[in-house]
Structure 1
């Protein structure tokens, strides 16, 4: 796995919008944050475009994504927001110049597509983290964690025990992201390599029955046969039918993984909440699930 360089003062971060369109207030707040950290920023050429829900037509957004991958000076690519649209761009991207100057790809939610692309096509580590659309509402700890992973390429987290956790430990690279996006990539050329990895999953605005179906899809695709650990992040604004589904998020995952013995930790603070801690995907990480807490470093 290729590990891009840690950022230092005066390094350049480019901002792109591969999915939904930008909002200027949040964009300017993100640029100010980077400047306050001593970094330089640059907007992609078509960043301010809009077409329907998207930040411009596919051709413009794809051109901006290729521009960012190819950029000769950028050290990181920060995606403005998720929503939907990134998967429309990844076919026929040329990785040649990126591989000569690897960069951190940063984002979450729909940007799970790019994390998977980075894992399986670019063979390069990436950062699952907050995005410009969210930073005004993010907690200070969320922003601190992003700064830490950018400047030191390190993590050190611990969080309280959930009674449904499965005790154990693993040392491996983390992969994953949004459950719906991840399952949509199963069986494609952009499915990440799950072998020997720690899988992180988060979700928002889904019905419990659909989460259950997607978890069966992971199981039937053999994902749980290959991973060494499972981290469950925020499951936000989860919906149920008038007649309750009858299972909790914890029960849904434990049912599909009962024949495996890898460690499982619930309640990690990453995903679609104001507290959205940054995760380094593709770097070897120690994952401990203990009786009183879980640790990731």
Structure 2
């Protein structure tokens, strides 16, 4: 069963949680809160959001408690993650998924947060959103492109239509064609890490979206081959590659390029694939609903959302 969250209306309250790594910059935290408030929303910080446990934002119990609290609290209308980093996957076995089923809310994040989004889709059918987080994005001089698209997505009751491409983004047709399917995926590292677990992505009939950051081409190659060997490409209806930031080789004389790696991964596939969606770790981020039906037109390097991602807006 697919569960759609309510769209955000004026004055809606966004809860901030840190399910992965801790905040690095308090100025970015304060600025992110200010940006959300300037969009017309209220902000509520979870009790443990500023906790620090080396590379984790607190203990598993603290981070899990905040996750549950924000879904349970009727005063919280949507949830944005503080940042990614590492740690989301450690929470998956202990999440009370019935809480999420009973209280579907807008849930926004990307990168390491992909682990939570995969699990929430698998266990509850909740439509979540790959979009800007608090400190690395909203609190760090977000572009107008990022802010406008985020706001338009979380407040929209209708199908979003074509996902915009940020200025200057180069697109590449990998395999021509058009198809439709549910849009699933996220960070390549996390999608690959979930293989063989109860939260493994099911790409049958789906449009698979992938992005990543700070990975050398050989590492991207290995993860893409892992997905290919697991049957995740040949069962999909299409594949869309978003931003792969800082993923070119340090030693370019002894490495394939990122494009060569991606082209090899989709070689011989018979579904549409393209590179160049403005989603992920790039400066300009479109917000992408995960779990709704979409249409891929690889000939035009276009992804179109054809199903509404939210239900009636919350009135305050």
Which of the five TM-score ranges fits, normalised by the shorter chain? Answer: over 0.9
Offset, 1:245: 4.6
Residues 24-63 of structure 1, C-alpha deviation per residue, up to 9 Å, x if partnerless?
2222222222222222221111112112122122221111
Distance in 1 of aligned mates of 2:41 and 2:68: 22
Structure 2 residues without counterparts, runs of 5 or longer: 306-316
Structure 1 residues without counterparts, runs of 5 or longer: none
Aligned residue number for residue 157 of structure 1: 163
Which sits farther off after the overlay, 237-246 or 277-286? Answer: 237-246
CA distance 1:16–1:251, change in 2 (3 Å)? same
Work out whether residues 112 and 182 of structure 1, in 8 Å CA contact, stay in contact via their aligned partners in 2: yes
Work out whether residues 171 and 277 of structure 2, in 8 Å CA contact, stay in contact via their aligned partners in 1: no
Distance in 2 of aligned mates of 1:294 and 1:142: 18
Aligned residue number for residue 130 of structure 1: 132
User: What is the root-mean-square deviation of aligned Cα atoms in Å?
Assistant: 1.9
Using CA pairs under 8 Å that are at least 6 residues apart, name the structure with larger relative contact order, 1 or 2.
2
Aligned residue number for residue 296 of structure 1: 304
Determine if the alignment matches structure 1 residue 235 to structure 2 residue 244. yes
CA distance 1:4–1:250, change in 2 (3 Å)? same
- TM-score, normalised to structure 1, is 0.93
Offset, 1:139: 1.2
Distance in 2 of aligned mates of 1:99 and 1:279: 21
Work out whether residues 169 and 286 of structure 1, in 8 Å CA contact, stay in contact via their aligned partners in 2: yes
Residue 110 of structure 1 aligns to a residue in which SS? helix
Distance in 2 of aligned mates of 1:199 and 1:138: 26
Offset, 1:222: 0.6
Q: How do 1:87-102 and structure 2 match up within 5 A?
A: 87-102=89-104
Which sits farther off after the overlay, 181-190 or 61-70? Answer: 61-70
Distance in 2 of aligned mates of 1:182 and 1:123: 17
Work out whether residues 201 and 233 of structure 1, in 8 Å CA contact, stay in contact via their aligned partners in 2: yes
Which sits farther off after the overlay, 113-122 or 65-74? Answer: 65-74
Aligned residue number for residue 311 of structure 2: none
Provide the aligned length of Structure 1 versus Structure 2: 296
Distance in 2 of aligned mates of 1:243 and 1:149: 39
Poorly superposed stretches of 4+, deviation over 6 Å: none
